[in-house]
Amino acid sequence: MQIRIPAPAKVNLGLWITGKLPSGYHKILTLFYKIPICDEIWVEEWDKSLVKCEGIKSTSTNTVYKALKYLSEFVGQNICLKVRIKKRIPVGGGLGGGSSDAAAVLKAANVIFKLGLDIDELTEVALKVGADVPFFLLPQRAAVGRGIGEVLEPLDFKIKGRWVLVFPSFPVPTKLAYNLVSERGIFTDERVAEEKLNEMIKSLTVGKIPEFENDFEDVVFERFPELKSIKHTLIKNGWVAVMSGSGSSIFGLNGNGFEGLKWPYKIWFWEE
């Protein structure tokens, strides 16, 4: 039995870093939103776990291998799948591609092996793979993320308009971005972040496009000034623009074009 399943990318419409936990992880408040840029994944039962990803060497640290390992431990049986991934989501772009791939494979394995796990049980496994993975298990398109992003409040709204997404010629490692935040040591007050989030959700649910925010921008733009230039170019073209996650992708809404953006940037445009 082979299953074909899409694994969508996400953007962070808002992202505030509100402190640092004793564990060393950072506390965040974010608004996740799935976008129609997807990896394509084909999954089938196999005699051992095998992951083939176009253009990327798959190792035991790959999120899909981790998902299968932790799922096997959770259910007490070997869950072995042959997984083929056609990558469309850029690696290191702040779009959650690896997390989405892992979530898609967990859902497929649940069906193929008739495990009967509910979303809470799948989430328990997903959390061991990464903080973003549980979001991609949700049927809803949006969710508020608290804690390290794993405490989810699902929301169901659709943002209509013209979208653009720009991925430059380089990734931004998530670990580096958080290290830059730690060095700066400046966080957004949690109450302020919650107020900003609530205003953003109110606007979006009535069809208005608010100003998006991302606390990573200050430190990441300082280290990678080309990203700041991309954002300013989008703004000049009328887009409401912001960086997604810890970078390096920049997305925008309801602008007029991409004049001034250059090769080798990868640019997606769509309307909803």
Q: State how far Cα 62 lies from the chain centre.
A: 16
Task: Tell me whether residue 132 is one of the annotated catalytic residues.
Answer: yes
* Selected catalytic residue, list 101, 132, 196, 231: 132
Cα–Cα distance between 167 and 81 in angstroms, integer?
31
Alpha-carbon separation of residue 66 from 49, 80, 99, 114, 128 (angstroms) = 11, 12, 11, 20, 8
The residues annotated with a catalytic role in the active site are 10, 132
